């Protein structure tokens, strides 16, 4: 079985070096990562290829924002170049600068070195639905780009619970709702949005998101069944990965919109086989064809560079 993991976060020495040169605090509490460790973890699940991503707010780079982004993307591309059948990568964008991000997205996507682009749901409180990102969306749409949109890391979580447990999924839901309210999915229909962690609450509350898109926050605005159906259909075009939350997604979404993801290196060795088994076993009327689609077929369809490097036929 070909298994493509679209959610894998490398630790890049070059990025750490940039932060250290500026005297910035560098988080040291994460799990170790290098390409060799990555391959060991991929062996646990039998993953054929991992698509690397470093979605980050690089505002700390200041006047060097473009240069830091270039270095980061060169480092990602070097990993792919050294192991082209094992790794792919989403390019990081120099956000929160919309103009720089647009130029870098064009260059990265036109270079053929990347599978798409990775970004956070928001930067300094501004979500992609904001008007300043229209130019970026136009260029992404023109290139049928895949946009891997990762939630921001929320540190101050309520109820004494760790931020990554719930707040990231809620932030993804917030981002999708903002995009729907701004009609982004209809205005830029060729952008393939990929939301991790099964899209947070989105598959479960599509009706509510559609209702907000129609009412704009005014609960007195009347809605019709036809209007709700049309808004919900716009959300049906989104893609989700299976990272750390697959269960209900199988009942809520079409399997042609689901891609395999793990969150290496943050998912430990005991979790990885559980993620694989849940995403790759035939169950409850789920056909072998659907399993193959989630395992790799959907990824190959929207990430054609990966398919060419693997030498496999890309599904229509």
Position 280 scores a pLDDT of 87
- Gap between the Cα atoms of 264 and 167, Å rounded: 19
Secondary-structure breakdown of the chain: helix, strand, coil percentages, each rounded to the nearest 5: 50, 10, 35
Position 312 scores a pLDDT of 85
- Residues of the chain scoring pLDDT < 70: 282-285, 315-316
- Gap between the Cα atoms of 298 and 315, Å rounded: 8
Report pTM. 0.96
Q: CA angle, corner 139, sides to 137 and 143, nearest 5? A: 110
- Gap between the Cα atoms of 48 and 120, Å rounded: 26
Q: How far is CA 19 from CA 60, 62, 98, 226, in A?
A: 8, 12, 22, 52
Position 316 scores a pLDDT of 65
Position 315 scores a pLDDT of 66
**Through-space distance between the first and last CA atoms of the chain, rounded to whole angstroms:** 19
SS3 63: helix
- Gap between the Cα atoms of 126 and 105, Å rounded: 18
Position 94 scores a pLDDT of 97
């Amino acid at each position: 079985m070909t298994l493509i993991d679209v959610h894998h976060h490398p630790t890049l020495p070059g990025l750490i070096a940039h932060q250290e040169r500026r005297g910035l605090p560098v988080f040291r509490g994460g799990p170790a990562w290098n390409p060799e460790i990555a391959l060991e973890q991929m062996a646990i699940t039998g993953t054929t290829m991992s698509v690397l991503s470093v979605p980050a707010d690089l505002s700390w780079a200041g006047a060097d924002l473009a240069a830091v982004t270039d270095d980061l993307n060169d480092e990602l591309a070097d990993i792919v170049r050294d192991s082209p059948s094992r790794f792919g990568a989403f390019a990081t964008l120099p956000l929160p600068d919309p103009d720089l991000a647009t130029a870098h997205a064009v260059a990265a996507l036109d270079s053929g070195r990347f599978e798409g682009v990775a970004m956070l749901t928001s930067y300094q409180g501004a979500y992609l639905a904001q008007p300043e990102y229209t130019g970026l969306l136009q260029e992404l749409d023109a290139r049928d780009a895949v946009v891997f949109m990762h939630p921001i890391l929320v540190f101050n979580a309520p109820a004494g619970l760790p931020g990554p447990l719930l707040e990231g999924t809620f932030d993804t839901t917030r981002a999708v709702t903002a995009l729907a309210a701004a009609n982004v999915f209809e205005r830029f229909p060729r952008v393939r949005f990929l939301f991790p962690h099964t899209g947070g609450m989105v598959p479960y509350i599509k009706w509510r998101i559609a209702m907000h898109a129609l009412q704009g926050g005014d609960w007195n605005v009347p809605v019709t069944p036809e209007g709700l159906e049309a808004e919900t259909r716009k959300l049906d075009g989104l893609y989700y990965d299976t990272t750390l939350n697959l269960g209900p997604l199988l009942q809520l979404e079409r399997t042609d919109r689901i891609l395999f993801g793990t969150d290496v290196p943050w998912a430990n060795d005991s979790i990885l086989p559980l993620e694989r088994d849940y995403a790759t076993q035939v169950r409850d009327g789920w056909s072998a064809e659907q399993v193959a689609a989630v395992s790799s077929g959907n990824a190959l369809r929207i990430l054609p560079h990966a398919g060419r490097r693997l030498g496999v036929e890309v599904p229509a």
